[in-house]
Structure 1
Amino acid sequence: MELDFEKNLGDTDRVIRIIIGALLIWPAIFHYISGGWATLAWVLGISQFIEAALSY
């Protein structure tokens, strides 16, 4: 089974996703949030970086 996804992300969308990812990870890095919220912020932030890098 092969999935053929077309890239659907422009430069503006990529920059917005990087900013959102940084804003999600920033409070976890500096310990403004902790526990499950920090883990959730890390997961969502990193997913935004991956989506920006892969353009999906």
Structure 2
Amino acid sequence: MNLEFKRNLGNIDRAIRITIGFILLFLPAYIQMDTTWNWLFYILGIINIAEGTFAY
């Protein structure tokens, strides 16, 4: 594979991770969930945003 294809694939992966992170972060606000599960979605959302932002 050439380097440009790998770089583009990495950028797509980063964008997907950040998008999923924001969806998980704001999901409890849109769905009336039990409050005991909110922390799980917040942590997963923050982890995905951080992985997408700081990925190589």
Q: Distance in 1 between matches of 2:53 and 2:38?
A: 22
Q: Distance in 1 between matches of 2:26 and 2:15?
A: 16
Pair member with larger Rg: 2
Taking structure 2 as the reference length, the TM-score comes to: 0.68
Matched residue, 2:5: none
Q: Distance in 1 between matches of 2:46 and 2:29?
A: 13
Determine if contact 1:28/1:38 at 8 Å carries over to the other structure. Answer: yes
Determine if contact 1:20/1:45 at 8 Å carries over to the other structure. Answer: yes
Query: SS at 1:10's partner residue?
Result: helix
Greater helix fraction, Structure 1 or Structure 2: 2
Q: Distance in 1 between matches of 2:29 and 2:45?
A: 11
Shift in Å at residue 15 of structure 1? 0.5
Please, what is the CA RMSD of the aligned residues? 2.0
The runs of 5 or more residues in structure 2 that have no matched partner are 1-8
Matched residue, 1:28: 28
Taking structure 1 as the reference length, the TM-score comes to: 0.68
Q: Distance in 1 between matches of 2:35 and 2:55?
A: 30
Q: How many residues align?
A: 48
> What is the identity percentage for the equivalent residue pairs of Structure 1 and Structure 2?
35
